[in-house]
Amino acid sequence: MAEGLLSHFHGEKYEVFSAGASPTRVNPFAIKVMAEIGVDISKHTSKSIEEFRDKELDLVISVCTSSAKVSCPFCSSPLIKGRPEIVQETLPHAKRYLQHGFSDPSEVEGSDEKKSEAFRRTRDDIKKWILDYFSNMKNEGL
């Protein structure tokens, strides 16, 4: 959802990629709630962070949080020089690292409506953060 939202609002300025430590598939609930606000992520694919090892990256943003179900090596690693050690090892050409965690809606159990609501909340939280953060980035030259 973060890739879709950042591309939607700032795609003319940034080339946006999304990847994970343990890629699976794009969650159908994510596709559904993004379509509700006019952002189509149905063609997005789940990619491994390894695909970006040799790529020059200006900014790496981790949007996950560690939980009982998921232990992300990025957001649970100790920070070294403002970036987790795993980012330096996995993405050696990354210039900056930022961690801003959001609740993982895929962890919500229950009815389809309950799951959809969780995805909507996370979508809206990510959207608000992207609009706020990247509007302020204009003055930082990134």
* Mean pLDDT lowest among 4-8, 43-47, 80-84, 88-92: 80-84
Confidence of residue 140 (pLDDT cuts 50, 70, 90): low
Domain with 50 in it = 2-140
* pLDDT confidence of residue 80: 44
pLDDT mean over 69-76: 54
Whether the per-residue pLDDT at 138 is higher than 70: the answer is no
| Burial class of residue 92 (count of CB atoms within 10 Å of its CB; 0-12, 13-18, 19+) | exposed
Report residue 73's pLDDT band, with 50, 70 and 90 as the boundaries.
low
CATH of the domain at 80: 3.40.50.2300
Domain count, the chain: 1
- Residues 77-94 have a mean pLDDT of 65
126 CB neighbour count, 10 Å cutoff: 19
In whole angstroms, what is the distance from residue 121 CA to residue 124 CA? 5
Residue of 42, 29, 44 lying closest to 106 (CA atoms): 29
State pTM to two decimals: 0.83
Q: What is the mean pLDDT of the chain?
A: 83
